[in-house]
């Protein structure tokens, strides 16, 4: 079973990457492929950096409660990133259900 990032409770996804960097671009393209177009409330920000750019590559997820997770695609494993984001997604889901019935 392939892991995928749970985008449902996120408010923003930002991806900056250099497509010529094979190590980081694979992870970034995987994230971009998994973003569902049906999520209207999800703000999507994607930038392609030129090879000579001094700007750092990054993947950043922001949840509805403004908690941010930022990753360096050169030093991040996809599975570990998905596990961390999924774990926090469950926390947000639990908070919402408690607030709904409180």
Number of domains observed in the structure of the chain = 1
pLDDT over 60 (residue 47) = yes
As given in the structure block, the two tokens for residue 59 are 């993947």
**Structural domain contains residue 1:** no
The mean pLDDT value for 39-57 works out to 92
What range defines the domain where residue 36 resides? 10-101
pLDDT, position 25: 92
pLDDT over 50 (residue 1) = no
**Structural domain contains residue 5:** no
pLDDT, position 2: 66
Distance CA 12, CA 85 (A): 13
For residue 37, name the pLDDT band (cuts at 50, 70, 90): confident
As given in the structure block, the two tokens for residue 31 are 């994230």
**Structural domain contains residue 4:** no
Q: Please give the share of the chain, as a percent, with pLDDT higher than 70.
A: 98
CATH number for the domain including 59?
Answer: 3.40.30
**Structural domain contains residue 2:** no
pLDDT, position 101: 86
């Amino acid at each position: 079973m392939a892991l995928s990032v749970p985008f449902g409770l996120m408010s923003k996804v930002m991806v900056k990457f250099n497509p010529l960097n094979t190590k980081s671009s694979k992870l970034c393209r995987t994230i971009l492929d998994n973003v569902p177009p049906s999520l209207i409330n999800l703000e999507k920000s994607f930038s392609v950096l030129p090879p000579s750019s001094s700007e750092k590559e990054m993947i950043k997820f922001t949840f509805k409660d403004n908690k941010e997770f930022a990753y360096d695609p050169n030093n991040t494993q996809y599975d570990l990133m998905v596990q961390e984001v999924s774990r926090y997604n469950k926390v947000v889901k639990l908070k919402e259900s408690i607030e709904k019935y409180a």
